[in-house]
Amino acid sequence: DTEVTQTPKHLVMGMTNKKSLKCEQHMGHRAMYWYKQKAKKPPELMFVYSYEKLSINESVPSRFSPECPNSSLLNLHLHALQPEDSALYLCASSQGRRGETQYFGPGTRLLVL
Amino acid sequence: QKEVEQNSGPLSVPEGAIASLNCTYSDRGSQSFFWYRQYSGKSPELIMFIYSNGDKEDGRFTAQLNKASQYVSLLIRDSQPSDSATYLCAVIRYGGATNKLIFGTGTLLAVQP
């Protein structure tokens, strides 16, 4: 089973709202990732958690705040977003530090008004 | 020079033909290579991974790796209209405690019925 789940599938929010994206995997993977993807572009790495610790932050604005409550869950808290933040947000997981194959969830389509 | 390069396409092939998708990479130290398929509006789906020089076959898909020439390719035999999608080549960049997956810009494949 290589399933990564994400909720919600779609999200519309205003620039003053606070919302959260959720990601879950039950493959025993110890690395989890957040990517942002704009239309006709490849996924762009935002954050990496390895063994529940934040190991990479790709200089993402502080209006995006990741959280890894446990090894199966990954959240992305959103606050005061801008319209240009509208994109497909993808979660992925892989086995661990050297386990490299990443499996993606279905994504959350975010629209910021 | 981009770290991972792909022709953006579109690559148009007739149904039943062989589609050949190519990718070059710049880091000679790269060890792990991935092909993802992404349908419009959906998330990337892992098709193949390859670590060793030569060919790796899985059903209608064959990945080919040539580390000396720094290219990796994906052949799709008996192409079907359902294969029409963007194909993303990705390479692992090693560094620190966590590796990153570096994507090419993707090749759009259109299989004509």
Q: Is residue B95 less than 8 Å (CB to CB) from chain A?
A: no
Q: Other C-beta atoms within 10 Å of B28: how many?
A: 8
Task: State whether A104 and B49 contact (CB < 8 Å).
Answer: no
Please report the sign of the dihedral spanned by the C-alpha atoms of residue B111, residue B10, residue A93, residue B56.
Answer: positive
Task: Give the pLDDT band (50/70/90) at residue A46.
Answer: very high
- Does residue A2 register a pLDDT over 80? no
Q: Which tokens is B69 given?
A: 């020439």
Task: Kindly list the residues from chain A whose CB atom is less than 8 angstroms away from the CB atom of residue B36.
Answer: 104
Task: Kindly list the residues from chain A whose CB atom is less than 8 angstroms away from the CB atom of residue B98.
Answer: 31, 48, 50, 55-56, 97
Q: How far is A44 from chain B (nearest CA, A)?
A: 8
Task: Pick the residue of A40, A50, A100, A103 with the most B CBs within 10 A to test the interface with B by mutation.
Answer: A100
Whether omega before B10 lies within 30 degrees of 0, making that bond cis, reads: yes
CB-closest option in B42, B46, B104 to A42 = B104
What is the Cα–Cα distance from A78 to A65, expressed in whole angstroms?
A: 7
- Does residue A18 register a pLDDT over 90? yes
Query: Which residues fall within 8 angstroms of residue A44, CB to CB, at 6 or more apart?
Result: A35, A36, A37, A38, A58
Instruction: Note the pLDDT of residue B98.
Output: 74
* AA identity, residue A11: L
Q: Is residue B98 less than 8 Å (CB to CB) from chain A?
A: yes
- Mean of the pLDDT values across residues A69-81? 96
Average pLDDT, chain A: 94
Instruction: Note the pLDDT of residue B99.
Output: 82
- Between chain A and chain B, the number of residue pairs with CB atoms below 8 A apart is 52
Task: State whether A90 and B44 contact (CB < 8 Å).
Answer: yes
Instruction: Note the pLDDT of residue B2.
Output: 84
Q: What is the mean pLDDT of each run of 10 residues along chain B (113 residues)?
A: 90 98 93 96 96 96 96 98 98 80 96 96
Instruction: Note the pLDDT of residue A97.
Output: 62
**Least-confidence region, from A49-58, A91-100, B77-86, B101-110:** A91-100
Task: Kindly list the residues from chain A whose CB atom is less than 8 angstroms away from the CB atom of residue B23.
Answer: none
Task: Kindly list the residues from chain A whose CB atom is less than 8 angstroms away from the CB atom of residue B103.
Answer: 42-43
Instruction: Note the pLDDT of residue A1.
Output: 62
- Does residue A101 register a pLDDT over 70? yes
- Does residue A3 register a pLDDT over 80? yes
